[in-house]
């Protein structure tokens, strides 16, 4: 009986993450590793060495289970498998997300509880394994144990012969094999990335008429969190998002403002938005953390340097950055406005440190008034970041926004994240509403503040997690380019963008890394003088 309990417990721990990912007891019902482990300890004699081996085995099983859970989480949230070589450094980001979503106290309790649970289960499983040794003279138990071990070992080649079998699985072996592959691939990544940097243009400061096509206009590049193409094309979200876009189009047209729209492929999904930012800025495809780190460690110039060389003041507004951000210094912005640099007196809204409308207001009322030089501003908008509660209205009177105290009534508004996230359908409903708010706030800003001397590029940083989009969704994101002068948008039209707020339906979509080289070349060169009126 004890052997059955041990087998079921160990098996459940190894396969539970797989069952979560597949939403049911599939594709495997039995992890062969647990059958072998249980059978082996049924044969081992009692003693100190067996107890030590049992405790180590219990620790190993629970550790592999946690890694399996990490793999499931990565697949559901980032649309890719776990890569320990890269993802261990993201643990601190996960802890920060818990603190931001649940609060410091509850987040700390959650982390501590997880660690205690890990230790308790490892000790429990190790204790059970350590007491499975056969009783003296019990030949029948030894024979049964040996038979189980033989059956489990024979089942392994059968499992490989039928890889899609439902019953038998080798999750621990598969996880180990995958991680070895990832490590091997990452070791080669250094060499591949170095070759790419040699062949992809990286310096444009000597370009004739660098960015002269902008004619000294401010360029605002605003990344909208989790604004993927699914928000427009998925039938679950289109009824919410498309009317907002059409309303934006009508309002901007009435105000004499033009919009063209395209789409780009982002390197990540569900998170790690800095990979998209870095790909746009560098002109390199940063599809994983290692490539991003290699970029930071290099002396390669970026779009920030291009604008500085063209005489622009460069700024990053990053309200989600609450700790030191050396990456910003590496990119070389003249000024960085992180959370603690922004004079915001309103409430935090779960993970969101400040609503998008305040960020837009701060850009206009503070950042754009600090210099007479043209401005390149990169903005990270975060109201559409999970957990997507509460959903705010756009305040019509922008002059009332001030230091953000006007948002105090929303301090405890909406559902608590832990309540909302119990229902997947309602989570998806709130996702659409949050993206809708981000679009409305951006449209309201453009209608009110976009003048003849400004070009606004508003694009998604990545698609939302597979929970929202489905496992097979495209990684494309919409890109809206907005200006009062239609002529300044002509290069985008030549690049395949369409007038209006909806992107083209073409299946040939460029990646984000294509943007920098195209943009610099499209907007550089001697500008023909316009005839006098």
Q: For residue 183, what pLDDT band results from cuts at 50, 70 and 90? A: confident
Q: What is the band of 533 on the pLDDT scale with cuts at 50, 70, 90?
A: very low
pLDDT in tens, 239-289: 999 999 999 999 999 999 999 999 999 999 888 899 999 999 999 999 988
Higher-confidence residue: 324 or 51? Answer: 51
Domain ranges in the chain? 2-185, 200-522
Q: Average pLDDT, stretch 326-353?
A: 90
For residue range 190-228, list pLDDT tens digits in order.
788 888 888 787 788 888 899 999 999 999 999 999 999
Contact 19, 159 (CB under 8 A): no
Average pLDDT on 450-457 reads: 95
Work out the average pLDDT over 116-142.
Answer: 75
Residue with the two structure tokens 């239609």: 486
DSSP assignment of 410-440 equals GTT-S--HHHHTT-HHHHHHHHHHHHHHHHH
Token digits for 419? 């309540």
Which residues, 6+ apart, have CB-to-CB distance to 223 below 8 Å? 273, 276, 277, 378, 379, 380, 381, 459, 460, 461
Question: What does the pLDDT read at residue 129?
Answer: 83
Under the banding of pLDDT at 50, 70 and 90, the label for residue 530 is very low
Structure tokens at 378: 């990169």
What mean pLDDT do residues 76-86 have?
A: 71
Average pLDDT over residues 491-502: 95
Beta bridge partners of 366: none
Please give the pLDDT value at position 511.
Answer: 96
- In this prediction the pTM is 0.78
Quick check: 444 pLDDT over 50? yes
The per-residue DSSP string of 308-330 comes to HHTT-EEEEEETT--S--HHHHH
- Mean pLDDT of the chain, nearest integer: 86
* Lowest-pLDDT range of 134-138, 142-146, 173-177, 334-338: 134-138
Confidence band of 117 (pLDDT split at 50, 70, 90): confident
Distances (CA, A) of 287 to 81, 168, 178, 184: 13, 34, 18, 16
Instruction: Write out the CATH class of domain 200-522.
Output: alpha beta
| Range 47-76 average pLDDT | 84
Among the listed ranges 350-364, 390-404, 516-530, which one has the minimum average pLDDT value? 516-530
Buried-state track 167-184, b at ≥16 Cβ within 10 A, e below 16 = ebbbbbeebeeebeebee
Q: Left, alpha or beta for 350 (phi > 0: left; psi -120 to 50: alpha)? A: left
Query: pLDDT band at 162, cuts 50/70/90?
Result: low
pLDDT band at 532 (very low <50, low <70, confident <90, very high): very low
Could you give the 3-state DSSP secondary structure of residue 218?
A: strand
Of 509, 464, 409, the closest CA to residue 241 belongs to: 464
Query: With 60 as the cut, is the pLDDT of residue 466 above it?
Result: yes
Confidence of residue 138 (pLDDT cuts 50, 70, 90): low
Residue 200: its pLDDT value, please?
80
Question: Is the separation of the CB atoms in 457 and 446 below 8 Å?
Answer: no
pLDDT for residue 102: 63
Lowest mean pLDDT among 25-34, 327-336, 380-389, 515-524: 25-34
Mean pLDDT of the region 314-319: 95
């Amino acid at each position: 009986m004890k052997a059955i309990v041990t087998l079921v417990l160990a098996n459940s721990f190894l396969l539970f993450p797989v069952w979560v990912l597949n939403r049911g007891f599939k594709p495997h019902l039995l992890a062969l590793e647990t059958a072998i482990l249980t059978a082996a300890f049924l044969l081992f004699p009692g003693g100190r060495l067996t107890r030590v081996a049992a405790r180590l085995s219990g620790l190993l099983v629970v550790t592999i289970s946690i890694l399996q859970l990490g793999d499931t989480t990565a697949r559901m949230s980032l649309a890719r498998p776990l890569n320990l070589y890269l993802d261990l450094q993201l643990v601190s980001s996960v802890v920060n997300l818990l603190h931001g979503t649940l609060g410091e106290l509850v987040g700390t309790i959650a982390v501590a509880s997880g660690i205690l649970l890990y230790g308790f289960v490892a000790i429990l499983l190790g204790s059970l394994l350590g007491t499975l040794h056969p009783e003296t003279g019990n030949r029948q138990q030894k024979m049964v144990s040996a038979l189980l071990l033989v059956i489990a070992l024979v089942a392994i080649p059968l499992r490989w012969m039928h890889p899609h079998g439902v019953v038998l699985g080798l999750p621990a072996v598969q996880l180990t094999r995958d991680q070895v592959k990832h490590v091997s691939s990452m070791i080669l990544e250094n060499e591949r990335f170095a070759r790419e940097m040699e062949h992809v243009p990286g310096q444009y400061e000597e370009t004739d008429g660098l960015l002269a096509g902008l004619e000294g206009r401010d360029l605002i590049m605003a990344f909208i969190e989790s604004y993927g193409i699914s928000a427009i094309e998925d039938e679950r979200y289109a009824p919410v998002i498309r009317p907002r876009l059409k309303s934006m189009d009508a309002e901007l047209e009435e105000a004499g403002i033009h919009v063209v729209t395209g789409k780009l492929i982002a390197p990540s999904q569900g998170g790690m938005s800095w990979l998209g930012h870095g790909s746009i800025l560098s002109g390199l495809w940063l599809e994983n953390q290692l490539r991003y780190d290699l970029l930071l460690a290099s002396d390669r110039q970026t779009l920030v340097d291009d604008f500085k060389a063209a005489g622009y003041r460069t700024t990053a507004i990053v309200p989600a950055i609450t700790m030191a951000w050396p990456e910003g210094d590496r990119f070389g912005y003249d000024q960085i406005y992180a959370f603690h640099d922004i004079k915001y007196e309103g409430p935090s809204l779960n993970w969101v440190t400040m609503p998008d409308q305040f960020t837009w207001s701060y850009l206009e009322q503070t950042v754009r008034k600090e210099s007479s030089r043209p401005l390149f501003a990169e903005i990270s908008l975060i109201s559409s970041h999970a957990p997507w509660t509460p959903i705010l209205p756009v305040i019509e009177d922008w002059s009332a926004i001030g230091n953000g105290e006007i948002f105090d009534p929303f301090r405890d508004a909406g559902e608590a994240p832990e309540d909302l996230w119990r229902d997947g359908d309602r989570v998806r409903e709130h996702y659409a509403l949050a993206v809708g708010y981000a679009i409305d706030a951006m449209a309201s800003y453009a209608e009110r503040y976009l003048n003849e001397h400004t070009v606004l590029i508003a694009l998604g940083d990545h698609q939302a997690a597979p929970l929202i989009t489905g496992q097979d969704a495209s990684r494309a994101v919409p890109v809206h380019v907005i200006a009062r002068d239609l002529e300044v948008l002509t290069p985008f039209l030549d690049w395949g963008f369409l007038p209006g707020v909806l992107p083209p339906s073409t299946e040939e979509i460029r990646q984000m890394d294509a943007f920098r080289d195209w943009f610099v070349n499209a907007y550089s060169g001697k500008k023909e003088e316009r005839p006098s009126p």
